[in-house]
Amino acid sequence: MQTIGAGRFKNICLKLLDEVAATRTPIVITKRGRPVAQLVPCVAPDRVGSLAGSILRETGDPYGTGGHWNADRDARSIPR
């Protein structure tokens, strides 16, 4: 595993990101000789998650407020 000082890492960060992505080899970042962080390759998920099939059942009015509005009254009961 490769080790690099934080100051040098700061200068070549983008290059190291490309290197880790290509080689899949982690890099340990040190500060004053002590390990403080590790740059590791990202593991992509096997498949993209989907919401299809996640709704088990629908209940109620999804746009309702629970209150009654004057517009909810039957049109025949409104005086003209």
The winner for highest mean pLDDT among 1-5, 60-64, 76-80 is 1-5
Domains of the chain: 2-39 (3.40.1620)
pTM of the predicted model as reported, rounded to 2 decimal places:
0.55
Going by C-alpha positions, the residue among 23, 32, 33 that lies closest to residue 1 is 23
Question: 12-57 pLDDT, tens per residue?
Answer: 999 999 999 999 999 999 999 999 999 999 987 777 677 777 777 7
- Residue range 46-69: mean pLDDT, rounded: 75
Q: Which tokens is 36 given?
A: 């403080």
Q: Which tokens is 6 given?
A: 């934080």
Is 39 within 8 Å of 17 (Cβ atoms)? yes
